[in-house]
Amino acid sequence: MDLTLSPAEEAFRDELRGWLEANHPGREPAGDDAAFEFRRVWQRKLHDAGWAGLSWPEEYGGRGATLVEQAIFNEEMVRARTPSVANVLGLAMGGPTVIAHGTEEQRKRFLPAILSAEEIWCQGFSEPGAGSDLASLKTRAVRDGDEWVVTGQKVWTTFAHHAKWCMMVARTDPEAAKHKGLTYFLMDMEQDAVQVRPLRQITGESEFNELFIEEARVPKENIVGREGEGWAVAITTLMHERATLAFGLQVSVQIALRELIETAGNARGLNGAVASEDPVIRQRLAQLLIESEVLRLNAYRGLSAIMRGGVPGPEGSLGKWHWSEVNQSLTELAMEIAGPRAMLSASDGNWSYRFLRARANSIEGGTTEILKNIVAERVLGLPRMR
């Protein structure tokens, strides 16, 4: 065990830290479009300096960075409180899936524009009738010469209104068993056959969308993996979602907790005393400090395991599940600290929004129920739930 950085890793960190100090883009502007443009510019700047797709092979525009460098990168982003990048799904899920299952042509075609944020990616897996039971999806794709014709409906497609490409799973063999007849497509979002309808959330904003797909066309060279093997490719995407994003998520919790502690230090709590000096609040803040440390350490231990073993395993499910609980507790405590202002939307630090937004954490990217099933069955080897 050695949790110190090697000289090379230290050099990497110092370089990055220096770069971030010089290039931090400041606070994100308000408004969906302005914020998105801001993130796109920020990603391009990162990319130009060689910080995007850090762990991707150099031949595809990455830096071939080690997992530890990737982790250092995430840590430094927390420390500097940088905003998000524009192409989150392309970087975390689309790119890795194309690298793992794509053809050489696909890699050359798609990867550079992911890195530069020229082409934004979204993900079309879930459907109204296929949530946790993803493989029951009904969107169909029918072969027509060199193209596939896709018809169906997708939900929860983040960034769909900004996206050029949708990584999508559709049923290509209605006769085959549930998991067998699926194929993984990269669908061009810029066609009339694809309609994006924003899905308003309980927070009031529309971060997600519905896709209505009516005979959309996908050329056959945009299949990832082989026809009928879409399920395996989709699992890769989901594993990357849970593993890679989980690392990012713990980082976001660290930031949020630091902000909450600041808030508590400035808030007048019960009977007028400073909230962070209240013994009951202190206990809960301390517990969150501990839990967020667990998230961080588990993510690092996961990296060490990948370094030894190769691919991310089902343990990633543990991190996503745990993160959702920690983030929900954190935002609930923020509401308690807000006192009567918990009733107002415009609370300091945007806590009311975050509190509502956190309710989705245990649903998006795999519900907690499904993640517990995965842990029980695939990590602990318990019998399949019937």
Partner 1 sequence: MNFGFTDDQQAIKRTAREFLKERYPAATVRRLAEEERGFTEEQWQEVAELGWPGVIVPEDSDGLGLGTVELVVIAEEMGYALAPTPWFSTTAATLMLVAAGTEAQRERWLGALARGEARGTLAVWDEHAGWAPDHSELEPDADGKLTATKIAVPDAGSADFLIISGADGRHWLIEASDSGVRISPEEAIDPTRKLFRVELSRAAAEPLQGAGEAIARAYATVVTMLAAENVGVGQRAMEMAVTYAKDRAQFDRPIGSYQAVSHRCAQMLLEVEGSRSLCYWAAWALDHEPDTGPRAGSMAKAYAGDAGFRVTASALQVHGGIGFTYEHDLHFFLKRAHANAHAFGDSRWHRDRVADLAGL
Asked whether position 285 contacts a copy of itself by CB under 8 A, the answer is no
- Considering the complex, state which of residue 256 and residue 281 has its C-beta at the smaller distance from a copy of itself: 281
* Alpha-carbon span 383 to 386, nearest angstrom: 9
Q: C-alpha 108: how far from its chain's center?
A: 24
| Among positions 103, 266, 283, 287, the unique one binding a copy of itself when judged by CB under 8 A | 283
Q: 311 phi and psi, to 5 degrees?
A: -85, 155
Instruction: Map residue 156 onto helix, strand or coil.
Output: coil
Residue 372's binding partner among partner 1, a copy of itself, none (Cβ under 5 to 8 angstroms by kind) is partner 1
Task: Choose the binding region for a copy of itself from 94-102, 145-153, 216-224, 278-286 (rule: CB under 8 A).
Answer: 278-286
Asked whether position 286 contacts partner 1 by CB under 8 A, the answer is yes
Residue 300's binding partner among partner 1, a copy of itself, none (Cβ under 5 to 8 angstroms by kind) is partner 1
Residues in the interface with partner 1 (CB under 8 A) total 93
Asked whether position 280 contacts a copy of itself by CB under 8 A, the answer is yes
* Alpha-carbon span 253 to 288, nearest angstrom: 9
* Alpha-carbon span 104 to 303, nearest angstrom: 27
Asked whether position 279 contacts a copy of itself by CB under 8 A, the answer is yes
Minimum distance between the CB of residue 271 and a copy of itself, rounded to whole angstroms? 11
Residue 361's binding partner among partner 1, a copy of itself, none (Cβ under 5 to 8 angstroms by kind) is none
Asked whether position 278 contacts a copy of itself by CB under 8 A, the answer is yes
User: Is 241 known to be catalytic?
Assistant: yes
Asked whether position 309 contacts partner 1 by CB under 8 A, the answer is no
**Which DSSP string corresponds to 14-75?**
HHHHHHHHHH---SPPSSHHHHHHHHHHHHHHHHHTT-TTTTS-GGGTS----HHHHHHHHH
Q: Which of 76, 241, 291, 315 is an active site residue?
A: 241
Question: CA dihedral in degrees (337, 339, 343, 348; nearest 10)?
Answer: -50
Q: Site residues for partner 1, window 134-173 (CB under 8 A)? A: 136, 155-156
Instruction: Map residue 139 onto helix, strand or coil.
Output: coil
Segment (H or E) for 271: none
For the annotated catalytic residues, the residue numbers are 241
Residues that bind a copy of itself (CB under 8 A): 278-280, 283, 386
